[in-house]
Amino acid sequence: EAAKIVPTENSPVALDWINGRRTPYADQTLKGALSGLTLGSDAPAVMNMLLESTAFGARAILECFEAGGVEIDKIIAIGGVARKSSLGMQILADVTGRAIHVTSDDQAPAIGAAVFASVAAGLYSDVPTAQQALCAPVGRVHQPNLERKKVYDKLYKDYISLGEYEEKLRRG
């Protein structure tokens, strides 16, 4: 049901700070929020809001890295949510405007650790060589819907504003 929801510039917005804010400055005293709910907001709409808020949080992290001079040329999603939530990965692609490459291996996090351990142990000369030898290919790629990205750009501004309000509310 959530996959059928088409975002609009007036869609409700959630703040994904359920365990505190992660970026730009970690603060566990800040809390999550839902804004714009109506009597017509059903469970799929709330689910969609939460998926969008997680994607907005990821976008904020990407923007912090890039502002710090870190070049991000590819996003590879691993783990349970990436493998099980095609909708979540599509929303992430739409919000960030970037392709999201989802690994085909259920054990990708463990294999990632093995990649670095194998380099540290001297089995491979560098990380790219170890990745080539140990990592599974990408299972699927979610390309961004650029029309939805335009809508999400506006909703991202709302997400940032909601975060600023939450910070002001908690700090007085």
Q: Tell me: the pLDDT tens digits for 30-63?
A: 999 999 999 999 999 999 999 999 999 999 999 9
What is the pLDDT, as a whole number, of residue 169? 92
What is the pLDDT, as a whole number, of residue 2? 86
DSSP H or E segment with residue 84: helix 79-84
pTM value is 0.89
For the chain, which residues make up each domain, given as ranges? 2-171
What value does the mean pLDDT take over residues 123-140? 94
What is the pLDDT, as a whole number, of residue 71? 95
What is the pLDDT, as a whole number, of residue 5? 92
* Nearest alpha-carbon partner for 87 in 33, 148, 40: 148
The CATH number fitting domain 2-171, selected from 3.30.420.40, 3.40.50.620, 3.20.20.60, 3.30.1490.20: 3.30.420.40
pLDDT grade for 15, boundaries at 50, 70 and 90: very high
Q: Distance (Å, rounded) from C-alpha 149 to C-alpha 155?
A: 10
| 14-18, 19-23, 125-129: the lowest-pLDDT one | 19-23
Query: Percentages helix, strand, coil for the chain, rounded to the nearest 5?
Result: 55, 15, 35
What is the pLDDT, as a whole number, of residue 105? 87
Got the DSSP string for 110-125?
HHHHHHHHHHHTTSSS
